[in-house]
Amino acid sequence: MPPVPHLATALTGPLYELESRILAAQPQIEHWFRSQWHAHATPFYGSVDLRNSGFKLAPVDMNLFPGGHNNLNPEFLPLAVQAAQSAVDKVCPEARSILLIPENHTRNTFYLQNVATLVHIFEQAGLKVRLGSLNPEITEPTELVSANGDKLTLEPLERRGNRLVLADGFNPCVVLLNNDLSAGIPDLLQNLEQTLLPPLHAGWAVRRKTHHFEAYNKVCDDFARLISIDPWTINPYFSSCGGLDFHARTGEEQLAETVSQMLDKIGRKYREYGIDNDPFVIVKADAGTYGMGVMSVKSPDEVIGLNRKARNKMSVVKEGLEVSEVIVQEGVYTFETVNEAVAEPVVYMMDRYVIGGFYRVHTGRGIDENLNAPGMHFVPLSFETACLPDRKGLPDCAPNRFYAYGVISRLALLAASLELEATDPDA
C-alpha cells in the first residue's frame, strides 16, 4: 500500500470547513455535475495539478494530454477501462480500433511507459491499438522499450484523402492524440474526417492557460453558490501579461506591476482569513507544459533585472518556443508531505470519471515552489477504494479528502470543456 500523505495543518479552519461542506452536499454536487455534462461535452481525458494549503484547495494547472498514466495505482485499472469504454462510445460506438499518436520524445522511457499503459487500457476496453508517430525520424516500424521493459512499435503516419492510416491500411474511426502540439499543428492533422481527440484547438499551439482559468472562474462561482462557500478557497487569482521579451528585458516594468497588484490582492484575502504566510505568485508561460518557464515570486523586485540564467529559463519552453505571454497566478502553498518531502496531488480523469492519481513529490523543493522539475518522483494516491466518500467518516479521512480532490479536479475538467467550446473555430 502506498504511504498515506500527511497534511501538515491542523484539522480545523477553512479546509476542514470546505471538506465538510463538500461532504454534506455530495448528492447535490453529483446531480449538478450530471446536469453540467448533459450541457457540455466532456474532454476525452485530462489531469489536474492540485495544491492543498490547509486554507485553500485549488487547481493550478490542467493538462489535456496527460502523460503520466504509468504513475497511477494499477489496482484501479478497471476504473480507467470503464471510463475508456464510455469515452469511446460517445464518439464512435462501433469503434474496433484506435490510432494513438504519442509525443515525439521517444528517448523518455518513462513517457513510453505512459503510452504502454494507455495501450493496455484501450486494449482492455476491447479496442485494437496501434501507434502512429509525427516524428520525421520514424520512417519505418520502430520498436522502442519503455522504462519497465514494455515493448512498443511506432509506425510512420500516412495521409490518404482526409484520413490518417498506417502503411498496411489500418484505418480506424478514432485518432487519439497524446501529443500536446507545442510545436504547432502539422498539416497531416488538418481537416480530418476521422474523430480526432482531443481537438486540435486543445493543443498548446492554440490553447492558453489564461483562457482556462477564465472558464474556471465561471465554474467556481456557480459551484460556490451551490454549496455556499467563498470561491477564493478553491480558485487561484490570476492575471495575464504580454509583450514580454525576457532576453531583451522588454516588459519587465509591466510584469512587476502585475505581480505587485496580484500580491496586494492575495494579501487582502490572507488578512481576511488571518493567514500568516507571505503571499506569492507563480509566473509561468501562458502556453506550454513540462514545468518549463516557471518562477515563484514574493516581491515585484524579483522580476526586474533577472540574471542570464533566469532569463534563459523563462524565455523558452518545450520545443524551443519563445515566451512572450505569461500568466501571473496566485501561488498556493502545499502543506502536504509524503515521507517528509513536499508533495502535491495530481488527479487523472477520463471522460467525466476520476480514474486515479498520484503525488508529485520533490525532496529538493519548498512549499512555495513548482514541483514539476527535475528530481521529482511519483507516489500513487493511496486509494483504499474508488474515489467515493465515506459520509460517516471525518471530513479529512483519506476517502473524503480524495473525494474533495476529485470534486475540485472535475471542476477544472468542466472549465476545460467551457474553454474548448469558447475556442472552437467551428462553433
Model pLDDT, residue 384: 45
Which of residues 201 and 388 earns the better pLDDT score?
201
Mean pLDDT of 219-226: 97
Query: Helix or strand or coil: residue 295?
Result: strand
Cell readout for 74 is: 494499477
Mean pLDDT of 340-345: 82
Q: Which residue has the cell 498539416?
A: 187
> Which domains does the chain possess?
1-64+206-236+332-426 (no CATH), 74-197 (3.40.50.11280), 238-330 (3.30.1490)
Average pLDDT, the chain: 87
Least confident of 172-186, 215-229, 314-328: 314-328
Q: Could you give the count of Cα atoms lying within 13 Å of 313 in the half-sphere of its Cβ?
A: 13
d(CA 43, CA 60): 18
> Is the pLDDT confidence value at 1 over 60?
no
User: Cβ atoms within 10 A of the Cβ of 321, count?
Assistant: 19
> Is the pLDDT confidence value at 222 over 80?
yes
Mean pLDDT of 80-93: 94
d(CA 370, CA 367): 9
d(CA 333, CA 267): 14
Which of residues 304 and 378 earns the better pLDDT score?
304
Mean pLDDT of 130-159: 95
Mean pLDDT of 280-305: 84
Model pLDDT, residue 90: 93
**CA geometry: angle at 143 spanning 187 and 357, to 5°?**
80
Ramachandran region of residue 310, left (φ > 0), alpha (ψ -120 to 50) or beta? alpha
Mean pLDDT of 9-37: 79
Confidence bin at 383 (pLDDT 50/70/90): very low
Model pLDDT, residue 2: 36
Structural contact between residues 259 and 303, judged by C-beta atoms closer than 8 angstroms: yes
Length of the chain: 427
Structural contact between residues 83 and 353, judged by C-beta atoms closer than 8 angstroms: yes
